[in-house]
Structure 1
Amino acid sequence: MKYKLLGRSGLKVSELCLGTMGFGTEANWGADKRTSFEIMDAFANAGGNFIDTANIYKLGTSEKIIGEYISNDDRDFFVLATKYTLLDNRTNPNASGNNRKNMMRSVEESLKRLQTDFIDVLYLHIWDDITPIDEVLRGLDDLIRQGKVNYAAISDTPAWVVAKGNTLAELMGWSQFIALQVEYSLLQRTPERELIPMAKHFGMTVTPWAPLAGGALTGKYLRGDKGRIKPESNRLNDNSMRITKEVVAIADELGVSPGHVALQWTRQQGFSSIPIVGATKLSQLEDNLQSVDLVLNEEHLRRLDETSVIPLGFPGDFFKEEAVRINSFGGFYDRVEKRN
């Protein structure tokens, strides 16, 4: 794999990020330690250095497995990203949320499970709609100054909150968010309304989670493999099936797997994007790794865009309408000038 800069930083990360939410066998699903090690071996051998986890993943088992895998000799090669926010202690009312107390407590616990002295990228996992954003940014900046965290990032948060936070951080001289993690795929394009334009403005890298829509875009549901998905899931509706069929058709034309097409689409959208590829089987990762060799042409991108397009709502669609009108007037004035 090639390496990219993460947001407006000098941090070099692989063009795919390994998602480890499935490392551990709690709740009767996921990869055991041996399989998790095999997956991380394959990822590292392919040049992958960017690993994503969270304090809540498999109740901490994901972080523990990663900590056992990464030796002191390898620590500086890997870029470890973890998250805080979600509940991991039911006896403490402050063991969840974005507040400073939970942030500090969660980071200390993650450091122990990861068996490391520092976290490369710490995400706020999900916005709690309670904690002031200045409390979050000041706490993250303190952790960075202490050397326990290198970079701050944010996930699953409204665009206006992130924008306010980065603007405040710039004003106060605090560390800014360099990455934004959101659900983004051909079946989930709503971040294009506000979140992705905001990320582009601030130079943030987008790290899409579920870029394969939980496997839907691999075509497995078309083949009748419903697995653990709920029947009412929007990944099983007629629109999702129609989009997936187009992905499969393009994959067949190119002689690649549908997952390659879906992953590469997220990387060719005109902004810095590093999709998170989760795996509980070695074969899943091996297939996903091959997507970096694919380049979709303009025709493929057009077909995928047209079949999955969403209304941007106001003001996005209004801007498009106004752009058409302005261009029309421009063409009219060009004709007038030429005639004169």
Structure 2
Amino acid sequence: MRYQLLGRSGLRVSELCLGTMTFGKEWGWGADKHESFKIFETFAREGGNFIDTANRYTEGSSEKFVGEFIETDRDHWVLATKFTLKDRNDDLNFAGNHRKNMFRSVTSSLKRLNTEYIDLLWVHMWDNTTPAEEVMRGLDDLVSRGIVHYVGISDTPAWVVSQANTIADFRGWSAFAAIQFEYSLLQRTPERDLIPMAKALDLAVTPWGAIGGGALTGKYLRGEKGRVPENSIRRNEHSSIIAQTVVEVADELGVTPAQVAINWTRHRNQVMIPIIGASKEHQMLDSLGCLNFSLPEEAINKLNAVSQIELGFPHEFLKSDGVKEEAFGGLYEKLDNHRV
């Protein structure tokens, strides 16, 4: 395992992050405590130090398991958890990004995790009601008190993240160091705005869903059962073609499809730290195998071609040769080091 800096911070994190949404069986799937510990141990043995959970994962069991697993060497681990999602039904203030729920949720997470601090606190998703100023000031207060060390944001539009970090920068508050969103060969829409924004703002990206809920392992091509519904974005005619290409590339390289899919997300000229999860130890071992090789350029091009998306307006418009020539009169051809 190699390590990277978490975005604009000096925090060192492993190049893969252990996702623990599968720790606990309260949702009708996942791993029991014994199997969860084996998954955790396997990740730790390979040098991983970055672990991700959330207040709502398996109704709190994930945080409880993680807290027990890291207790003997707490300071070694970079522990990330999230707030936003409700953890009490029929109570409006037990959900959302507002200050009351933020502090209440963090207090509850600290108890379940049995720790005095959280290394990285994620805003789980944007609630479209709480002002950005309130969110960023609340997060900065948590950092100032030493309860949280760094802050990040998940599943939020690029313009909101840009606005929030600009506010934080101008007011001297703690800004987001990382962003989390779904990204895979089956979900490339973040390439339109989220990924370029992350690079511009020096945010580490921790993509989830790199294997498309298992679809990119080829399991559905083999007729196996799983949790991904048919005719969804992860399981339709187009996604089957992509999955088949992943399988073909894996066969050519002598690796597994999951390893190819994970490595594809890592091949970017910026910090990309995929979140890998498992409900069985052998699945974690398989995912960790992605560290043993790099995808050759030919394979990357093949995967890019089969999963290509349209960037849409204004990206397609601005990069067209006609617009460049009409608007800028050959400017780009005359510049040696332009970035277009």
TM-score tier by shorter-chain length is: over 0.9
Alpha-carbon distance between aligned partners in 1 of 2:316 and 2:84, rounded to the nearest angstrom: 34
Residue 150 in structure 1 maps to residue 149 in structure 2: yes
- The gaps in structure 2 that reach 5 residues or longer are 336-340
Partner residue, 2:281: 282
Partner residue, 1:263: 262
Offset at residue 226 of structure 1 (A): 2.9
Residue 179 in structure 1 maps to residue 171 in structure 2: no
CA distance 1:332–1:84, change in 2 (3 Å): closer
Alpha-carbon distance between aligned partners in 2 of 1:325 and 1:168, rounded to the nearest angstrom: 33
Alpha-carbon distance between aligned partners in 1 of 2:109 and 2:65, rounded to the nearest angstrom: 12
Alpha-carbon distance between aligned partners in 2 of 1:124 and 1:224, rounded to the nearest angstrom: 37
1:260 touches 1:294 (CA, 8 Å); kept in 2?
A: no
Compute the RMSD of aligned alpha carbons: 1.7
Partner residue, 2:227: 228
- The gaps in structure 1 that reach 5 residues or longer are 335-340
CA distance 1:311–1:112, change in 2 (3 Å): same
Offset at residue 138 of structure 1 (A): 0.3
Deviations 1:107-141 (A, max 9, x none): 00000000000000000001110000110000000
> Which SS does the other structure have where 1:233 is aligned?
coil
Structure 1 residue ranges, 4+ long, deviating more than 6 angstroms after superposition: 330-334
Offset at residue 269 of structure 1 (A): 2.0
Offset at residue 68 of structure 1 (A): 1.3
CA distance 1:10–1:331, change in 2 (3 Å): closer
> Which SS does the other structure have where 1:89 is aligned?
coil
Partner residue, 2:137: 138
Q: How does 1:181-220 map to 2 (within 5 A)?
A: 181-220=180-219
Alpha-carbon distance between aligned partners in 1 of 2:225 and 2:315, rounded to the nearest angstrom: 35
Q: Identity over aligned residues, as a percent?
A: 56
Using structure 1 for the length normalisation, give the TM-score.
Answer: 0.95
Deviations 1:191-241 (A, max 9, x none): 011111111110001100111100111111111113222223221111101
CA distance 1:333–1:231, change in 2 (3 Å): closer
Partner residue, 1:246: 245
Residue 125 in structure 1 maps to residue 124 in structure 2: yes
1:251 touches 1:257 (CA, 8 Å); kept in 2?
A: yes
2:97 touches 2:123 (CA, 8 Å); kept in 1?
A: yes
Q: How does 1:1-340 map to 2 (within 5 A)?
A: 1-71=1-71, 73-322=72-321, 325-326=324-325, 329=330
Alpha-carbon distance between aligned partners in 2 of 1:308 and 1:324, rounded to the nearest angstrom: 26
2:122 touches 2:153 (CA, 8 Å); kept in 1?
A: yes
2:196 aligned partner, one-letter code: P
Offset at residue 142 of structure 1 (A): 0.2
> Which SS does the other structure have where 2:93 is aligned?
coil
Partner residue, 2:338: none
Alpha-carbon distance between aligned partners in 2 of 1:25 and 1:46, rounded to the nearest angstrom: 25
Offset at residue 322 of structure 1 (A): 4.0
Alpha-carbon distance between aligned partners in 2 of 1:121 and 1:200, rounded to the nearest angstrom: 19
Alpha-carbon distance between aligned partners in 1 of 2:101 and 2:53, rounded to the nearest angstrom: 17
Q: Which moved more, 1:85-94 or 1:43-52?
A: 85-94
Alpha-carbon distance between aligned partners in 1 of 2:304 and 2:269, rounded to the nearest angstrom: 13
Alpha-carbon distance between aligned partners in 2 of 1:100 and 1:236, rounded to the nearest angstrom: 39
Alpha-carbon distance between aligned partners in 2 of 1:331 and 1:148, rounded to the nearest angstrom: 49
> Which SS does the other structure have where 2:241 is aligned?
helix
Alpha-carbon distance between aligned partners in 2 of 1:87 and 1:223, rounded to the nearest angstrom: 37
> Which SS does the other structure have where 1:70 is aligned?
helix
Alpha-carbon distance between aligned partners in 2 of 1:242 and 1:27, rounded to the nearest angstrom: 30
> Which SS does the other structure have where 1:127 is aligned?
coil
Offset at residue 333 of structure 1 (A): 7.7
CA distance 1:94–1:322, change in 2 (3 Å): farther
